[in-house]
Amino acid sequence: VTIIRIARIFDGERLHPEGGVVIIEDGRIVNVRPPDRAEPIDGTLLPGLIDCHVHLSADAGVGALDRVPQATEEELGDTIETSLRRHREAGVTTVRDLGDLRGVALHHGVIGSGAPLTTPGGHCWYLGGAVSGEREIRREVRRRVTDGAKVIKIMAGGGVFTPGSDPAGTQFTDEELKAAVDEAHAHGLPITAHAHAAGAIRQSLKAGVDGIEHATFADDALADALAEAGTTVCPTLGSDPAIPVPPEFLALAERAGLTQAALQQGVARLSRAGVKIVAGSDAGLGPAKPHGILPRTLEEYVLSGLTATEALRAATASAAEACNVRKGRVRPGYDADLLIVEGDPTVDITALHRIRGTHVAALN
């Protein structure tokens, strides 16, 4: 039994400024009691952070995702373990991998999608997830279920860094997208769609996806519709300003309108409409997106207009719901993946950089 007396608790939803006593047994929180007379640790206890959008097999170097298919199985395994360690060091105790090479990250016990479903030559086709036609789509969804995927990822729109793929366009027909959604749901799995542009977001929403990744250019009407449908949106902000990005990559992103200002305006619009936001960084993708960048993602959400409490909720209680795990809350019955930081992150989100300790039931 572990007993933690702590000055403040953020329980995944809100702050308890009076703190309390958290009792842990066999990796599980068994009780949370009001403060007693013993001296508490000076800090805030909160659930371990959850990053809902990472690429563990990508090493965050230049062109990291494109290089994944050239790596050997052993190299990919090393990269995945290193990536997981970086997340852990940053207070991220759970990640959801939304795109690897043919399911390699799933062998490391993480929640993941395997290779994203895409069209032949479409966004990230080189990860091995190219499909066409409803039959093949359904078959590939079933294959991922067998491989142990806990979520299906589909590239509804194009991407910036795949030559020939158009981030402003859609990739699948309405019927194909619907087939993917139906097959995922038939096997009890959620499905999330990559979409930057309004057209791809609208198509995904109509097909009934559970989540949308990025959703950068949702207009007000679309944001309202997403809120109404209860669709979870993962806006993948967060980059390390100290790491220079090669100018050709910046130019590609800018040509697609994906500037930092546009990304932040997108989050502001979603937040105003009341869309359920979950935190994700797209860690691994390239030099400014190292693994463990999630605290910076949350800072950028706050710069975009979320309160610090809303940003924390996106990385704890809401993220856990999206990942379907019994984590993300300081409450009896939940996994004891816990973090203690200096100060109060509901007042100053940068407190997440000052970790005093972690208690992790199990990293996955």
Positions touching Zn ion (CB under 5 A) are: 282
Q: Which is nearer to Zn ion, 98 or 349 (CB)?
A: 98
Q: Which is nearer to Zn ion, 203 or 236 (CB)?
A: 236
Q: Which is nearer to Zn ion, 161 or 301 (CB)?
A: 161
- Cβ proximity of 101 and 76 under 8 Å: yes
| Shortest distance (Å) from residue 294 CB to Zn ion | 14
- Which residues, listed in sequence order, are joined to residue 195 by a DSSP beta bridge? 214
| Shortest distance (Å) from residue 281 CB to Zn ion | 9
| Shortest distance (Å) from residue 267 CB to Zn ion | 16
| Shortest distance (Å) from residue 117 CB to Zn ion | 14
At 280, give phi and psi (nearest 5°). Answer: -155, 145
Q: Which is nearer to Zn ion, 64 or 361 (CB)?
A: 64
| Alpha-carbon distance values, 246 to 63, 232, 251, 252, 254 (Å) | 10, 32, 9, 10, 13
Q: Closest residue to Zn ion, Cβ-based? A: 282
Query: Would strands 191-195 and 2-10 be described as parallel, antiparallel, or unpaired?
Result: unpaired
Looking at 126-283, list the stretches that DSSP marks H as alpha helix, in order from N- to C-terminal side.
134-147, 174-186, 198-207, 220-229, 247-255, 260-273
CA distance 361 to 81: 18
Q: Which is nearer to Zn ion, 289 or 313 (CB)?
A: 289
| Shortest distance (Å) from residue 330 CB to Zn ion | 29
| Shortest distance (Å) from residue 329 CB to Zn ion | 26
| Shortest distance (Å) from residue 282 CB to Zn ion | 4
Q: Is 9 helix (H, G, I), strand (E, B) or coil?
A: strand
Q: Which is nearer to Zn ion, 282 or 337 (CB)?
A: 282
Q: What phi-psi label fits residue 64: left (phi over 0), alpha (psi between -120 and 50 degrees) or beta? A: alpha
| Shortest distance (Å) from residue 53 CB to Zn ion | 6
Q: Which is nearer to Zn ion, 54 or 351 (CB)?
A: 54
Q: Is 56 helix (H, G, I), strand (E, B) or coil?
A: coil
- Cβ proximity of 337 and 48 under 8 Å: yes
Q: Which is nearer to Zn ion, 29 or 193 (CB)?
A: 193
CA distance 364 to 360: 10
Q: Which DSSP string do the residues of 173-208 spell out, in sequence order? A: -HHHHHHHHHHHHHTT--EEEEE-SHHHHHHHHHHT
